[in-house]
Structure 1
Amino acid sequence: MTVDRIVAATGYRTDHSIAAELRLDLDPILGSTRALAPLIDPNAHSCGTVPAHGVDELAHPEPGYYAIGVKSYGRAPTFLMATGYEQARSVVAALAGDWEAARDVQLDLPETGVCSSSLTEAQEQRAGQRVGLATGISGGLLSTPLPLAGVSASTSTEGGCCG
């Protein structure tokens, strides 16, 4: 594969515009809820050391409004899907009125290997396993790992779309 340019999407910032008319209490640096910010601050935590958190840390002054998942983390790069699942469980329990379950947040993460991986090593470990996306066909999975694309160091723009 020949590539003319690579554009990196850096500096991710959560878009809270959908909730612009609601009363939010966002941390001015991270863009997460103010109560969650010290727990996920990348200067103090890696994604494996973020403590379990739920409805209390995700609440805003707007009654009944909770931003969960990656949107709850703002700019913090430490979000994990397991964290989002626990956030969703906690918030749904609160919305259902089960405050005891909502506040019983638990997140067990392995001490190592949670936040970093080698794509090549991961593909080698999965070789032959039936993992992947459901195809919609009974019993069918896209089990072949997608190949990693090589990148040419060429700076030529001939034949490119963006020259």
Structure 2
Amino acid sequence: MGNTFGGGEADQLPARGALGLRAKEAVDAGLVHVVAGFRTEAVERDEHGLLALRSLDGRTIEAVDKVVVVTGFRPDLSWLSELRLELDATLQAPIALAPLIDPNVHSCGTVYPHGAKELAHPEPNVYLAGMKSYGRAPTFLAMTGYEQVRSIAAALAGDHEAADRVELVLAETGVCGGAGLFDEPAADASSGGCCGAPAGPELISLSAPSTDR
């Protein structure tokens, strides 16, 4: 499964590595069955009320109790409607930031370091930071947000030199990828680095352990 479970014990983000190891243990124990490269074309319901998923290549997963669709989110900007914001029409991220985080081009490990300059809006001293600054892009990392806030705080304090001096060192191990990178894996995707993505999207189905003796 390549680097599906992240960097494991070598992951430079220990909590992420531990979570990946626990997920792998569940798979090894037979509690979780991984179906790789499954792109759902249709969801059907049988006479017993159970769901069946049919993929684009004709495969079927039957007797599904529940489907959890992890589609991401978009930020709630309604309460900022009276402010002058300048947002990208597609990502709903600040105009200057959007091309740097476009998930069709970048993974979370290839986002260019950025700060107050890219997060500013026409409204004076207004910045969007953290997950909200990424709009609909799914590749935000907390480490990126910490650097955003440091740069913004420096700008608000009038220390523009510090605000422009954006430094960000991302973890080199583990896995993160944008939608576009999952569709067209990079040549070095198998290297296990932060920018590597699995060969394709993976559907993980949960099942109770067998009670047969």
- TM-score normalized by structure 1? 0.66
Q: 1:14 maps to which residue?
A: 75
Deviation at 1:113, TM superposition (A): 1.6
Alpha-carbon contact 2:114-2:148 (below 8 Å) kept: yes
Question: Aligned pair 1:33/2:88, yes or no?
Answer: no
CA contact (8 A) 2:72 2:138 kept: no
Does structure 1 residue 49 correspond to structure 2 residue 104? no
Aligned equivalent of 2:172, options 95, 111, 118: 111
**Are the equivalent residues in 2 in contact too, given 1:48–1:112 (CA < 8 A)?**
no
Could you tell me which residue of structure 2 aligns to residue 98 of structure 1?
Answer: 159
1:151 maps to which residue? 206
Give the letter for the 2:74 counterpart. R
Deviation at 1:5, TM superposition (A): 3.2
Find the counterpart in structure 2 of residue 83 from structure 1.
144
Among all aligned residue pairs of Structure 1 and Structure 2, give the percentage whose two residues are the same amino acid.
65
Equivalent pair of 1:12/1:75 in contact (CA under 8 Å): yes
2:171 and 2:92 map into 1 onto residues whose CA distance is: 27
Question: What is the CA distance between 1:110 and its match in structure 2?
Answer: 3.0
AA in 2 matched with 1:30:
L
Note the C-alpha offset of 1:6: 4.0
Measure, in 2, the Cα distance between the counterparts of 1:62 and 1:29: 21
Q: Give the alignment's Cα RMSD to 1 decimal.
A: 2.2
SS at match of 1:87: helix
CA distance 1:88–1:97, change in 2 (3 Å): same
Task: Give per-residue Cα distances to partners, 1:89-143, cap 9 Å, x unaligned.
Answer: 0001111111110110011113342527xxxxxxxxxxxxxxxxxxxxxxxxxxx
CA deviation after TM superposition for structure 1 residue 4, in Å: 5.3
Distance 1:27 1:21 in 2: 18
- In structure 2, the partner of 1:73 is 134
Give the TM-score of the pair, scaled to structure 2: 0.52
User: Using the alignment, how far apart are the partners of 1:57 and 1:113 within structure 2?
Assistant: 27
Say whether the 8 Å CA contact 2:121–2:127 is kept in structure 1. yes
**Aligned equivalents of 1:85 and 1:114: distance in 2?**
20
Gaps of 5+ in 2: 1-63, 178-204, 209-213
DSSP 3-state at the match of 2:166: coil
1:132-151 alignment to 2 at 5 Å?
A: 151=206
Counterpart CA distance in 1 for 2:107 and 2:206 is: 30
1:23 aligns with 2:23: no
In 1: Cα distance, 2:175 partner to 2:100 partner: 17
